[in-house]
Amino acid sequence: MSSIQVHDVDAAIEMEEIVNFGAYPEYNFNDVIKSIKKLKKNAPDIYEKTKDAILNHYNINLQDERTLKWKEVARHSLELACQSVFPSAKLYAVGSTMNGCGAYNSDIDICVVVKEDELNQVLDGRARIVNALQSLKRVIQRVPITNRTILIRAVVPILQVSFKGDYEELEADININNTAGIYNTHLIHHYSRQDERFPALCLLIKHFALNAGINSAQDGTFNSYSLILLVLHYMQTACQPPILPILQEILLHC
């Protein structure tokens, strides 16, 4: 490497310029922090009103225990139907229903965990999952509280289920053996328990994204989990001092 090239590298490091390496830090973020501190000092009433508005939005829209039990009845009904096809089937509610960041009107995401030897052994990979979902679709359509069931052949194939009667306001997205969602839900749930500002900000950002038309993975925008991760990253690294710890580092050997 020539002396000019070395100088260029040193200059880039000194100026903290990182280009074309994927995600990169916002080096002007200190200016944002200074602006926030200035607002807190010069207009404390506006700052407090904003904070109170975020927490009020959370408390008004938060999923309560009654809603959770209501969803549990629907989940259990679907589980009994699925077990008529796959005896080992266990249905786990995942996502916003269980991670602490959901609203009272959030849909329920469900992961059906089935033993591999109960699935079609002739088919492989995604085709095997689609075949299993088609089998589940037939029995779910006969559940008294369900209205319509649609198979979505996405990257992760799912069944979209709508309900009727006392459950007509509920919809469910069902996948098979996408168990990463179970672990992710468990992790975010524990972050929600660390500080109530985390789920409060997550719910606000999700509703903002929904109103802005950028909260739809099917349309190529953010899914809710991606938005939650952005909030998590902000509270772990952008806030000084950090609001949330990095649980994977604290519980490295658990």
- pLDDT, residue 249, reads 82
Whether residue 133 contacts residue 111, with contact meaning beta carbons closer than 8 Å, is answered with: no
Q: What was the pLDDT predicted at 25?
A: 53
Residue 220 to residues 151, 214, 223, 242, Cα–Cα distance (Å): 19, 8, 9, 31
In three-state secondary structure terms, 78 is helix
d(CA 120, CA 116): 8
Domain boundaries 65-178, corresponding CATH code: 3.30.460.10
User: Along the chain (254 residues), what's the average pLDDT of each consecutive run of 10 residues?
Assistant: 40 40 56 81 87 96 95 98 97 97 95 94 87 97 98 94 97 97 96 96 96 89 95 89 87 69
Q: What is the pLDDT of residue 148?
A: 97
* Region for residue 95 given its phi and psi (left: phi exceeds 0; alpha: psi -120 to 50; beta: otherwise): left
Provide the residue ranges of all domains of the chain, joining segments of one domain with +: 65-178
Dihedral-angle region of residue 33 (phi above 0 means left; psi in -120 to 50 means alpha; beta otherwise)? alpha
